[in-house]
Chain A
Amino acid sequence: ETGVTQTPRHLVMGMTNKKSLKCEQHLGHNAMYWYKQSAKKPLELMFVYSLEERVENNSVPSRFSPECPNSSHLFLHLHTLQPEDSALYLCASSQEWRVQTEETQYFGPGTRLLVL
């Protein structure tokens, strides 16, 4: 029973569509993360937010646009994606590392995205 939820769980979109992935955490954390899990590749960090401020963009293309309106919510806005962007997108949260020493990240179930 995870305290991190993601919607939708599955998404099919065309290359010209615009869609958004949503993540919500109920753990009182203040750092949130987006990861990408592709077939046959290790999990890749995409973005890190700490105290609602983006602190890392791991060379992600601009067709992925994150948004963190508050410490409980994280979005990933998608536009003009490519078929190679099809993957499982995982959200995670943790305590902010400069405030707490407990750094364990807790993951949501992911959104499986298929770009046609």
Chain B
Amino acid sequence: GNSVTQMEGPVTLSEEAFLTINCTYTATGYPSLFWYVQYPGEGLQLLLKATKADDKGSNKGFEATYRKETTSFHLEKGSVQVSDSAVYFCALSEVAGRRALTFGSGTRLQVQP
């Protein structure tokens, strides 16, 4: 079956620090990959996505590259802000099939001023 593994949090950084949140996946086919973000008290918002190998998704300064050879989709940002404090979820959906998302456990990011 499909699975997504994320690094455990919380990750605590100072403002303007570099961020990496690791994500690896197991899938039987060729999934699409997503990062979602959940701010306190809110639902999930799509942050970025990639649909095939070597694609790079980017949004709001965040980037992630679909690495088929390492089955990874690590999230990076060069300079985090306090407003980036949230829980980040890596997810995949199968291209062939019902497309429901398989999520990682989430990584809480805390950015301190």
Binding site for B on A (CB under 8 A): 2, 4, 6, 31, 33, 41-43, 45, 48, 50, 55-56, 90, 92, 94, 97, 103-110
Contacts and interface: CB of A to CB of B under 8 A. Distances in A.
Contact of A33 (B34, B46, B100): B100
Interface residues of B, number: 21
Interface in B88-113: 89, 93, 97-106
A108 B99 contact: no
A108 B46 contact: no
Interface of B: 32, 34, 36, 42-46, 49, 89, 93, 97-106
A2 B45 contact: yes
B46 A109 contact: no
A110 B45 CA distance: 12
A6 to B, nearest CB: 8
A28 to B, nearest CB: 17
Given A2-B45, A42-B103, A90-B43, A107 B36 contact: yes
